Amino acid sequence: MGKQVLKLTLPQLSFSVLFFFIFFSSVCSDQPSKTFIFRVDSHSKPSVFTTHYHWYTSEFAQQDTILHVYDTVFHGFSAFLTPQQVASISTHPSVLAVFEDRRRHLHTTRSPQFLGLRNQRGLWSESDYGSDVIIGVFDTGVWPEHRSFSDLNLGPIPRRWKGACETGARFSPKNCNRKLIGARFFSKGHEAGAASGPLNPINDTVEFRSPRDADGHGTHTASTAAGRYAFQANMSGYASGIAKGVAPKARLAVYKVCWKNAGCFDSDILAAFDNAVADGVDVISISIGGGDGIASPYYLDPIAIGSYGAVSRGVFVSSSAGNDGPSGMSVTNLAPWLTTVGAGTIDRDFPAQVILGNGRKLSGVSLYSGAALSGKMYQLVYPGKSGILGDSLCMENSLDPNLVKGKIVVCDRGSSPRVAKGLVVKKAGGVGMILANGISNGEGLVGDAHLLPACAVGANEGDAIKKYISTSANPTATLDFKGTILGIKPAPVIASFSARGPNGLNPQLLKPDLIAPGVNIIAAWTDAVGPTGLDSDTRRTEFNILSGTSMACPHVSGAAALLKSAHPDWSPAAIRSALMTTATVLDNRNQVMTDEATGNSSTPYDFGAGHLNLGRALDPGLVYDITNNDYVNFLCGIGYGPKVIQVITRTPATCPVRKPSPENLNYPSFVAMFPVSSKGVASKTFIRTVTNVGSANAVYRVSVEAPASGVTVTVKPSRLVFSEAVKKRSYVVTVAGDTRNLKMGQSGAVFGSLTWTDGKHVVRSPIVVTQIEPL
Asked whether 488 and 509 are in contact (CB, 8 A), the reply is no
The helix/strand/coil state of 335 is coil
Q: How far is CA 134 from CA 158, 160, 614, 619, 730, in A?
A: 9, 10, 19, 22, 34
Q: What is the dihedral of CA 305, 309, 312, 316, to 10 degrees?
A: -90
Strands (E), 423-549: 432-436, 454-457, 476-481, 485-486, 514-517, 521-524, 543-546
The helix/strand/coil state of 675 is strand
Going by C-alpha positions, the residue among 249, 246, 254 that lies closest to residue 225 is 246
d(Cα 458, Cα 464) in Å, to the nearest integer?
Answer: 10
| Catalytic choice (41, 101, 132, 139) | 139
Close Cβ partners of 567 (under 8 Å, ≥ 6 residues apart): 574, 575, 693
Phi, psi of 274 (to 5 degrees): -60, -45
d(Cα 155, Cα 651) in Å, to the nearest integer?
Answer: 38
Q: What is the dihedral of CA 643, 649, 652, 653, to 10 degrees?
A: -80
Q: How far apart are the first and last CA of the chain?
A: 23
Asked whether 671 and 510 are in contact (CB, 8 A), the reply is yes
Q: Which residues of 158-167 are buried (b: 16+ CB within 10 A; e: fewer)?
A: eeebebebbb
Close Cβ partners of 451 (under 8 Å, ≥ 6 residues apart): 370, 419, 422, 423, 426, 532, 534, 536, 537
550 has catalytic annotation: yes
> Strands 361-365 and 378-381: what pairing?
unpaired
Q: In sequence order, what are the beta bridge partners of 217? A: none
Q: What angle do CA 556, 212, 532 make, to 5 degrees?
A: 70
677 has catalytic annotation: no
Q: What is the CA radius of gyration of the chain?
A: 26
Q: What single-letter DSSP state applies at residue 297? A: P
* Element containing residue 749 per DSSP (H, E): strand 749-757
The helix/strand/coil state of 292 is coil
| Catalytic choice (190, 217, 450, 567) | 217
* Element containing residue 365 per DSSP (H, E): strand 361-365
| Catalytic choice (223, 550, 571, 669) | 550
Query: Active-site positions?
Result: 139, 217, 550
